[in-house]
Structure 1
Amino acid sequence: MLQLAELDELHLDAYESSKLYKERTKRWHDKHIQRCEFKEGELVLLFNFRLKLFPGKLKSRWSVPFHVTKVFPYGFVEIWSEGSGTFKVNGQSLKHYRAGIPVQGNQVYKLSLPSSY
């Protein structure tokens, strides 16, 4: 009977330890989530989940820029593009599109062979 009582006590200790570990892990995960808020008219990129089925490891997993048409509560966003039309997606699969700075003029660099040749 004492061994059964000790076994139950070990079981309860393991359960409590597991519960504390899960709480700490959840707290750490929630702290590192980046919340993105989208506004109507912004440009966003959509993450392509299906790309891993196709070869090409250097291919970008982010689709062409979409326009945000409406923002719903609880993270849903309605986006639009000419090719695919309007549809709703989860806001976690979107990121803000930032256009690059245009290059002012062309610069030409002439390369020469190293002196050892």
Structure 2
Amino acid sequence: MEMETVGRARKLDIQELEEIRNDAYKNARVYKEKTKAFHDKMITRKQFSIGQKVLLYDSTLKIFAVEIQSEETRKCFKVNGQQLKPFYENFQMHTIEEIVLEELKI
């Protein structure tokens, strides 16, 4: 084999691999953008007003910072807004009627 021919073929193979790699990067970027858009669309935005009571779950993440004030200590602190839920003071639970089923005798 001639060295020149082999060298050209090798350069073409390397260029083809580079194109494949670039296409893979583009496809991965498009996939990540679509996944992020879907994820962001599913996040519910919560609206809280000043003075409203909320329930706070144990929060370690500080993604969507919201400043709240403790009713007992009057201290202000920032928490993850996704961990807050509205607190309903006058929420009444409904009584559930219990029905006892008898076994079928065959």
TM class by shorter chain equals 0.5 to 0.7
Could you tell me which residue of structure 2 aligns to residue 90 of structure 1? 80
| Separation in structure 2 between the aligned mates of residue 18 and residue 40 of structure 1, nearest angstrom | 43
Pick the structure with more strand per residue. Answer: 1
Percent identity of paired positions between Structure 1 and Structure 2: 36
Provide the rounded CA distance (Å) in 1 between the counterparts of 2:31 and 2:12: 29
State the partner residue of 2:34.
24
- Does residue 47 of structure 1 match 2:85? no
The answer to whether the 8 Å contact 1:79/1:89 transfers is no
Aligned Cα root-mean-square deviation (Å)? 3.2
Aligned length: 90
Structure 1 segments of 4+ aligned residues over 6 angstroms from their partners: 106-109
How far 1:98 sits from its partner (Å)?
A: 2.3
Give the TM-score, by structure 1 length.
0.60
Gap regions ≥5 residues in structure 1: 51-73
In the superposition, the TM-score normalised over structure 2's length comes to 0.65
Residue correspondence of structure 1 range 1-117 to structure 2 within 5 A:
1-49=11-59, 75-82=65-72, 85-86=74-75, 87-99=77-89, 100-101=91-92, 114=102
Larger radius of gyration: 2
AA aligned to 2:32 is K
CA distance in 1, matches of 2:87, 2:38: 28
| Separation in 2, partners of 1:10, 1:26 | 24
Mark the CA change 1:30 to 1:108 in structure 2 (over 3 Å): closer, same or farther.
closer
